[in-house]
Structures are given as structure tokens and as C-alpha cells.
Amino acid sequence: MPLTRATHCPVAQPVLANAGLAGRRRHRPPRPEGLAYSLTLPGEPHCAATARAAIRSALSVHGLAPYADLAALAATELIGTAVKLTPGRELHLSLRHRAGALRLVLWDQHPHHTDPDDVSLCAARRRDALWLLAACVDDCGGEWGTAEAEPPQRGVKSWAVLPCRRIEGRGGVRL
């Protein structure tokens, strides 16, 4: 079998040379501002564990490990509620760091209700199921909510925004 060799893109090489970066590789850990991950999950109860592991890993890599417990709890609550109300349908989870906060958004494929009474009842059930998420998010000064997803998504969009604050004098982060 012939030995293959990796090469750089010929278009990118002049850009690197002009920037004075050719031949130099610096390893910089990802910054919090670059945190942007999305997962598609099968909509089964076990997928919450997968989401927790992915969130913990992503936050650790981006220097936001102190937020892992709260973010994992928020994801678990969002996923658990979606799985209970729409079992067996795919879920889409997004984790972002924007404007000094972690943003978790979950889209599920809950069917649209046409009867206003069904809409109200379903929204109340979802709110009631998210009582632990509400308590934790309110405690840290964040916000959460649910709404019908806007096209091209379908179903229900649920979210939690968790503010990140710096610890004075320690250089770390904490709630």
C-alpha cells in the first residue's frame, strides 16, 4: 500500500504565510465565546445521560467547568420533560455561550394542538414538569421558558439561560 502524505490546502497556504503563521502551531484552549454545540438525540430517557456527558465535556474544554452541574441539570430537565410529553421522537439540543451566559435550547417534536383548551393544558403540564428547572434557573438569576417552535423547526422549543459571572481575584468562573 502506498504511503500517503497530508498536505495543506494550496489556497490557504499563502494566507498563513502572509499572516506570519506558516510553520508555527500554537495550541490555545478553546475560549468560552467559541462554545457552540448541537446534538440530535433519539428522544428516549437514556439520551439525557448522553447529553450530560457531552455538556460536561464541552464546558470543561472551554474553561466553563464550574457551570457543568447546573447546565447538566437544566439539560436533564428539558430532555426529561420532552421525552415524557413526546416519547420516541427526535430531540435537538443546542448549547451556546453568548453575552456572558450559557444558553441551552431543546426542540422537541410535540404535535401542534388546534383546540385552545388543549394548548393551555399542555403548556401547563410542561410548566409544571419543569418546576426543578425553574427553581434552579431563578436561583442563579437566569431565565427559562417554552414556546411553539418557529419554522423551519416544529414542535416545542424549551430553553434555559444561565448567566456566567467571574469570581473576583481568582480568575475562575462560578455562579
pLDDT in tens, 92-119: 999 999 999 999 999 999 988 889 999 8
**pTM (predicted TM-score):** 0.78
Instruction: Tell me, rounded to whole angstroms, the distance of Cα 150 from its chain centroid.
Output: 18
Kindly tell me if the per-residue pLDDT of 16 is higher than 70: no
Non-local CB neighbours of 82 within 8 Å, separated by 6+ positions: 43, 91, 106, 108, 110, 156, 158
Place of cell 455562579: 175
Packing angle, helices 68-85 and 47-61, rounded to 10:
150
The answer to whether residues 157 and 81 touch, using CB atoms and an 8 Å cutoff, is no
Instruction: Tell me, rounded to whole angstroms, the distance of Cα 138 from its chain centroid.
Output: 18
Kindly tell me if the per-residue pLDDT of 174 is higher than 50: no
Kindly tell me if the per-residue pLDDT of 74 is higher than 90: yes
The answer to whether residues 37 and 98 touch, using CB atoms and an 8 Å cutoff, is no
By CB neighbour count within 10 A (0-12 exposed, 13-18 middle, 19+ buried), where does 158 fall?
Answer: buried
User: Mean pLDDT highest for which of 85-89, 133-137, 154-158?
Assistant: 133-137
> In angstroms, rounded to a whole number, what is the distance separating the alpha carbons of residues 90 and 160?
19
- Write down the pLDDT at residue 149: 83
Pairing of β 101-108 and β 156-163: antiparallel
Domains for the chain: give ranges and CATH numbers. 31-167 (3.30.565.10)
